[in-house]
Amino acid sequence: MIHSKILAVKHSCFNKEDNDENYLCALNKSPEKCLQCGTILKDEIVVKLMLPFSNAHVSILFPSYPIARIAFILSDSSNSILNCQSNSNLHCGVIDSEGKVYHFTKQYGISIDSMGWEQSIIISVSEVTGCKNLTSSKWNETIHSYINNLNGSIYSYVNDPNGSIHSYVNNLNGSIHSYVNDPNGSIHSYVNDPNGSIHSSMNQDYDCLDFVVDIIKYAINDQEVNRIRIAQWLSNQLEWVLLYTDIIKQLESGSLQVMKRLPIIAICQY
């Protein structure tokens, strides 16, 4: 029941000394009474727990806003993000202002999805990097420019009359990718920014996260962006996914109330 509403109150009997972030959570209604101390909860501030995922396919209405999004889903896209475990494999991509997700796989190369990312962990690159000039329109330009500039790369694109990329050249097996092999048979491609400072080597270990890293570097010209830094951005979001899943499982299994310490990103006014 992923759309169940969880409401919570910060109740005094759980918050002693400096431990003041414990909330009493209930399913689909505000807790009316503390089952531990028996207090009627009538003057408490009620908050709502945020869902730990968002729909990546929602478009951005104002392209001048500093919004540049990347998205993470479970590698098994048929599985709910609420089934995520600490050892789950994730897949990631970049989102344009229309809600299209561009992502890389070894099997198909770069793909563009207009569905399938409805339960995504979304991170705003503009926010986490402090790049307020990285607007949604600039992010669009970066994505399309990066892909178009893969000169002599492993991909081939077909442009529609309006100039937007909409399909790939299929090989004889119907796969949506084409390889260019060096004399040693290894697949490689170099991507350079106008100053020649941003580049990556696509080899057999290149994956979806490398693709996202390259586009962010291409957008903000920051060589400090790497896999570890993106993992740090993701860590708080993943912790919230696991905590939310634990809360809702307890409530749906019959618990009337659950007490949890909630992070700031988890709550909003009800």
Q: Is 167 helix (H, G, I), strand (E, B) or coil?
A: strand
Other Cβ atoms within 10 Å of 100 Cβ, number: 20
The pLDDT of residue 14 is: 64
Tell me if 1 is assigned to some domain. Answer: no
At 171, the pLDDT band (50, 70, 90 cuts) reads very low
The answer to whether residues 150 and 24 belong to one domain is no
CA dihedral 207, 166, 57, 212 (to 10 degrees): 20
pLDDT at 133 over 50: yes
The answer to whether residues 131 and 199 belong to one domain is yes
Tell me if 235 is assigned to some domain. Answer: no
Tell me if 109 is assigned to some domain. Answer: yes
35: domain range?
Answer: 6-49+243-269
The answer to whether residues 42 and 157 belong to one domain is no
The answer to whether residues 215 and 154 belong to one domain is yes
Count of structural domains, the chain: 2
Tell me if 57 is assigned to some domain. Answer: no
The residues, ordered by sequence, that sit 6+ positions from 17 with a Cβ below 8 Å of its Cβ are none
Residues above pLDDT 90, as percent of the chain: 46
Other Cβ atoms within 10 Å of 254 Cβ, number: 6
pLDDT at 257 over 90: no
The answer to whether residues 152 and 258 belong to one domain is no
The pLDDT of residue 175 is: 27
At 260, the pLDDT band (50, 70, 90 cuts) reads confident
The answer to whether residues 39 and 80 belong to one domain is no
The answer to whether residues 120 and 19 belong to one domain is no
Q: How far apart are CA 199 and CA 201, in angstroms?
A: 7
Tokens found for residue 101: 């997700």
Residue range 120-134: average pLDDT? Answer: 95
The pLDDT of residue 80 is: 87
The answer to whether residues 89 and 207 belong to one domain is yes
The residues, ordered by sequence, that sit 6+ positions from 42 with a Cβ below 8 Å of its Cβ are none
pLDDT tens across 8-49, in order? 888 777 666 555 678 889 998 888 888 878 888 887 888 899
Tell me if 147 is assigned to some domain. Answer: yes
Q: What is the mean pLDDT of the chain?
A: 78
Q: Are the beta carbons of 118 and 55 closer than 8 angstroms?
A: yes
Residues above pLDDT 70, as percent of the chain: 76
Tell me if 35 is assigned to some domain. Answer: yes
The HSE-up count of residue 180 (CA atoms within 13 Å, CB side) is 11
Q: How far apart are CA 95 and CA 77, in angstroms?
A: 16
In three-state form (DSSP H/G/I as H, E/B as E, the rest C), the secondary structure along 54-103 is ECCCCCCCCCCCCCCEEEEEECCCCCCHHHCCCCCCEEEEEECCCCCEEE
The pLDDT of residue 241 is: 94
Tell me if 56 is assigned to some domain. Answer: no
Tokens found for residue 52: 């730990």
Q: How far apart are CA 266 and CA 243, in angstroms?
A: 10
The answer to whether residues 23 and 103 belong to one domain is no
The answer to whether residues 83 and 193 belong to one domain is yes
The HSE-up count of residue 218 (CA atoms within 13 Å, CB side) is 28
Tell me if 253 is assigned to some domain. Answer: yes
Q: Is 126 helix (H, G, I), strand (E, B) or coil?
A: helix
The answer to whether residues 178 and 215 belong to one domain is yes
The answer to whether residues 23 and 102 belong to one domain is no
At 150, the pLDDT band (50, 70, 90 cuts) reads low
